[in-house]
Amino acid sequence: MTFLASQIALIINGTIEGDPGAAVDSFGKIEEASPGQLSFLANPKYEDYLYSTRASVIIINRDFVLKQPVSATLIRVADAYTAFATLLAKYQEIMQQQLTGIQEPIYMAKTASVGQNVFIGAFAYLGENVKVGDNTKIYPNVFVGDNVTIGDNSIIHPGVKLYHDCQVGNHVIIHAGTVIGSDGFGFAPQADGSFKKVPQIGNVVIEDHVEIGANATIDRATIGSTLIKSGAKLDNLIQIAHNVEVGNSTVIAAQAGVSGSTKIGNGVMIGGQAGIVGHIQIGDGAKVNAQSGVSKSLEPGKAVTGSPAYDYTAALRSQAVNRKLPELEKRIKELEALIKQLMSERISG
């Protein structure tokens, strides 16, 4: 599919410098793009490639000052990175609109219903009373359990498992291999040392515009719902335990884990491999550094690091002091020697 620079500029509200009729049919990184490809420049580290790239069209920031002429047609925008992301999303939307219909073989219960312009890939399973909204794509080998609802314009990638009673909103993306609604980790200790399983009879509710990476696991609630609120973005290989709440527009990086019943606020940022204990609250806008271990509630806006996690600014100061320890040791020894000399002179005097 071919697009002209003039068409692209309309989509991203850009200003053209060069040939409005420059055509592109694919995307490329600025350092290795070929003629007929579209690229962008947002990171100043890649500026040198702007003058040598073979890309036909390049998106750049409106205030970027050229140091030498460029051969490509430029489209200037307020934020090149955001504009490029918008363009990619539009391209993906166009390509996915072409994917409709129901492949064979699949299993669909008689009580299941699907909306208009859906795609259901081969070997998918749709259980009793399943409801799938308009324009939703369900790829091959997806399992959708009884009473699951999936909203409009959502994408469920291959091998996803949606256990019974779970709810998925509109414009949700769930990547391959992710499991939604598996049992929460609930076991009651017994007098004889064994553990009795606590039935997990709740569900998982995923609100609109959520994206969940590959091979993540979100456990169903013991009672009630495990809740992923609108706009949240979860990376690959994340564990969300039973009855957890993840707030609006919160982002969690890969291999992080959140224990049961913890409430995470809106706009929180959690780094990779962070671990968060159960039954605490993470305030709005808090930041948890990678590999941190959070063992107590965090107030809104708090930034922490380390295990156990503590104030981020204090941690930086501690690290700075640690780097100076050899120098401080030397100075202490010099001071001790000076004090010893002064005491000796005083005694002898």
* CA–CA separation, 112 and 294 (whole Å): 43
Phi, psi of 156, deg, nearest 5: -115, 110
Given the residues 171, 175, 242, 279, select the one marked as catalytic.
242
Tell me the residue length of the chain: 349
Q: Using one digit for the tens of pLDDT, what is the confidence trace for 282-315? A: 999 999 999 999 999 999 999 999 988 878 888 7
Q: Using one digit for the tens of pLDDT, what is the confidence trace for 200-258? A: 999 999 999 999 999 999 999 999 999 999 999 999 999 999 999 999 999 999 999 99
Between helix 312-323 and helix 325-348 the angle, nearest 10°, is 60
Residue 89 scores a pLDDT above 90 = no
Looking at residues 28-57, what average pLDDT do you find? 96
Name the residue with tokens 């806006």.
301
Among residues 255, 174, 247, 185, the alpha carbon closest in space to that of 219 is found at: 185
Amino acid 323: pLDDT: 85
Pick from 47-61, 91-105, 158-172, 206-220: least confident: 91-105
* CA–CA separation, 68 and 332 (whole Å): 56
Phi, psi of 48, deg, nearest 5: -60, -30
Q: Kindly list the distances between the CA atom of residue 339 and the CA atoms of 25, 332, 344, 348, 349, in Å, as whole numbers in the listed order.
A: 78, 10, 9, 14, 15
Confidence of residue 91 (pLDDT cuts 50, 70, 90): confident
Phi, psi of 187, deg, nearest 5: -140, 130
The β-bridge relationship of strands 239-240 and 257-258 is parallel
Maximal CA-CA distance, the chain: 106
Amino acid 349: pLDDT: 63
175 in catalytic set? no
Task: Starting at the earlier edge strand, list the strands of the sheet with 15-17.
Answer: 15-17, 73-77, 57-61, 37-41, 26-27
* CA–CA separation, 227 and 166 (whole Å): 10
Confidence of residue 324 (pLDDT cuts 50, 70, 90): confident
Alpha helices in the chain (DSSP H): 5-12, 47-50, 80-97, 312-323, 325-348
Architecture of the domain delimited by 101-312 = 3 Solenoid (2.160)
Percent helix, strand, coil in the chain (nearest 5)? 20, 30, 50
Q: Higher-confidence residue: 338 or 136?
A: 136
Confidence of residue 58 (pLDDT cuts 50, 70, 90): very high
Among residues 23, 55, 22, the alpha carbon closest in space to that of 40 is found at: 55
> What CATH superfamily is the domain 3-97?
MurE/MurF, N-terminal domain (3.40.1390.10)
Amino acid 227: pLDDT: 98
Q: Using one digit for the tens of pLDDT, what is the confidence trace for 164-178? A: 999 999 999 999 999
Mean pLDDT of the chain: 95
Amino acid 99: pLDDT: 85
Confidence of residue 148 (pLDDT cuts 50, 70, 90): very high
Amino acid 344: pLDDT: 83
The DSSP output letter for 298 is B
Q: Using one digit for the tens of pLDDT, what is the confidence trace for 122-133? A: 999 999 999 999
* CA–CA separation, 297 and 280 (whole Å): 5
* CA–CA separation, 131 and 146 (whole Å): 10
